[in-house]
């Protein structure tokens, strides 16, 4: 079973996947597989432009977890979409020293459900598990994903509405 863990940057993919790896689950990180597919580096946005189609095409399926903001584009058996309330996401991104434009872009993407919408374009609703990390610890989020893996948590998506957190002026 391949389980994708996706979400806007700052929602907690890396931290939660590290916790799950610590608990014994095999984890593949987007960051470790994407290098050969980088087309260019957009320095102004501190962003790597990746040949996503080729990355998806050549990705070897794993029996375990795939973590990264493109994981939902893979043919996963189920996808966990991590969410974080936009004002808290902004706080989580602050230590990264991203340019303000990049922070605002991510906060807006989270408020507009961009990753969830992309996920639902690729996967049926009953394969999708949205987890709001805002008020949970990393360990509690890992617990939820373990429940997903064990089939103890029903699929869920679409109950989050963060349009009130859209930042003015954008």
Positions that interact with ligand ADP (CB under 6 A):
7, 9-16, 92, 133, 136-138, 141
Closest contact distance (angstroms) between CB of 7 and ligand ADP is 5
Closest contact distance (angstroms) between CB of 41 and ligand ADP is 18
Closest contact distance (angstroms) between CB of 14 and ligand ADP is 3
Contact 67, 20 (CB under 8 A): no
Contact 17, 65 (CB under 8 A): yes
For residue 12, say whether it is annotated as part of any ligand binding site: yes
What is the number of the residue whose Cβ is closest to ligand ADP?
Answer: 12
For residue 134, say whether it is annotated as part of any ligand binding site: no
Per DSSP, the three-state class of 100 is helix
Q: Which is nearer to ligand ADP, 8 or 157 (CB)?
A: 8
Q: Which is nearer to ligand ADP, 31 or 49 (CB)?
A: 31
Per DSSP, the three-state class of 78 is strand
Q: Which is nearer to ligand ADP, 104 or 138 (CB)?
A: 138
Residues ≥6 apart with Cβ < 8 Å to 82: 5, 6, 7, 8, 11, 12, 13, 16, 131, 133, 141
For residue 14, say whether it is annotated as part of any ligand binding site: yes
Q: Which residue has the tokens 């399926």?
A: 61
């Amino acid at each position: 079973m391949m389980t994708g863990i996706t979400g806007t940057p700052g929602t907690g993919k890396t931290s939660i996947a590290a916790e799950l790896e610590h608990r014994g689950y095999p984890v593949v990180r987007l960051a470790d597989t994407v290098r050969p597919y980088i087309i260019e580096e957009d320095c102004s946005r501190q962003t790597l432009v990746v040949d996503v189609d080729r990355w998806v095409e050549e990705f070897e399926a794993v029996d375990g977890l795939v973590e990264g903001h493109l994981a939902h584009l893979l043919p996963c058996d189920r996808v966990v979409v991590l969410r974080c309330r936009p004002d808290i996401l902004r706080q989580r991104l602050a230590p990264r020293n991203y340019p303000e434009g990049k922070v605002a872009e991510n906060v807006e993407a989270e408020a507009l459900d961009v990753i969830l919408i992309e996920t639902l374009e690729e996967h049926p609703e009953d394969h999708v598990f949205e987890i709001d990390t805002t008020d949970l610890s990393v360990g509690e989020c890992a617990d939820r994903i373990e429940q997903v893996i064990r089939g103890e948590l029903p699929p869920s998506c679409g109950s989050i509405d963060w349009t009130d957190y859209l930042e003015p002026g954008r």
